[in-house]
């Protein structure tokens, strides 16, 4: 285990050559460095997971989805936040994520002693990167589904027009999964619509896609 005082420096050094860095650490060590860490920093199963800076393409897609979410929710009792806000998933060893976008219904509820770690998400959005695809789908998704207030999980691809939506049903442990794979597709989350043509506006994909 890396010494706490050197942990942030170690992670930043490793991120110079890796997209994702995992380091064994305690929950307290994560909470100690997370507020000031200059990048995306998450925690699960006794490990800190640090990620390199997002690509410009990633941020373009996030911005497009953010615009659609804000436009829909701005006059409703919902709040939209970016990845600078944290999300706590209740697990015995502590789990903390920074989804690219998060929507809460009603007022924010925070982890005790925090004003940046939210505990009541309604919707989360992740724009997947090649280096985080497996982590997003195999590690984070099952834990997202355990959050009782969460109704929707949206994953978007960067390399092709692709959106997958997980929607919680009236049976809390049953989720519906719908994939949208073409630019003329329109993802639906209740009354909210997310046209892929707007999410991927100004992005050129290879002709065979």
Cβ atoms of 187 and 163 within 8 Å: the answer is yes
Place of tokens 């999964």: 177
Q: pLDDT higher for 166 or 19? A: 166
**pLDDT-above-90 percentage for the chain:** 77
List all residues 6 or more positions away from 178 whose beta carbon is below 8 Å from its beta carbon: 164, 165, 167, 187, 188
**pLDDT at residue 134, rounded to an integer:** 87
**pLDDT tens digits along 74-88:** 999 999 998 888 999
End-to-end CA distance of the chain: 44
Question: 208 pLDDT band (50/70/90 cuts)?
Answer: low
Question: 39 pLDDT band (50/70/90 cuts)?
Answer: confident
**pLDDT tens digits along 170-201:** 998 999 999 999 999 999 999 999 999 999 99
**Which of 78, 83, 60, 59 lies closest to 191, judged by CA?**
78
**pLDDT at residue 2, rounded to an integer:** 58
The SS3 of residue 59 is helix
Distance CA 96, CA 178 (A): 26
3-state helix, strand, coil in the chain (%, to 5): 25, 30, 40
The SS3 of residue 149 is coil
Parse the chain into domains and list their residue ranges: 4-51, 56-199
Q: pLDDT higher for 188 or 52? A: 188
CATH, domain 56-199, list 3.90.1570.10, 3.60.21.10, 3.40.50.11740, 1.10.530.10: 3.90.1570.10
Residue 178: CB atoms within 10 Å: 13
**pLDDT at residue 3, rounded to an integer:** 53
Question: 5 pLDDT band (50/70/90 cuts)?
Answer: low
């Amino acid at each position: 285990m890396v010494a706490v005082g050197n942990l942030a420096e170690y992670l930043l050094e490793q991120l110079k050559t890796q997209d994702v860095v995992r380091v064994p650490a305690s929950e307290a060590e994560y909470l100690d460095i997370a507020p000031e860490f200059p990048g995306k920093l998450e925690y699960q199963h006794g490990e800190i997971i640090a990620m390199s800076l997002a690509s410009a393409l990633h941020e373009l897609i996030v911005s497009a989805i953010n615009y659609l979410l804000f436009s829909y929710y701005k006059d409703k009792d919902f709040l939209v936040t970016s990845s600078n806000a944290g999300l706590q998933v209740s697990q015995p060893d502590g789990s903390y994520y920074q989804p690219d976008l998060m929507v809460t219904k009603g007022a924010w509820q925070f982890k005790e002693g925090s004003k940046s770690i939210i505990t009541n998400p309604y919707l989360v959005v992740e724009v997947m990167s090649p280096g985080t695809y497996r982590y997003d789908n195999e590690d984070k998704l099952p834990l997202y589904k355990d959050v009782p207030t969460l109704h929707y999980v949206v994953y978007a691809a960067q390399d092709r027009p692709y959106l997958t939506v997980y929607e919680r049903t009236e049976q809390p442990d049953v989720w519906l999964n719908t994939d949208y794979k073409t630019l003329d597709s329109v993802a639906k989350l209740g009354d909210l619509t997310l046209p892929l043509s707007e999410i991927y506006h100004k992005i050129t994909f290879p002709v065979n896609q």
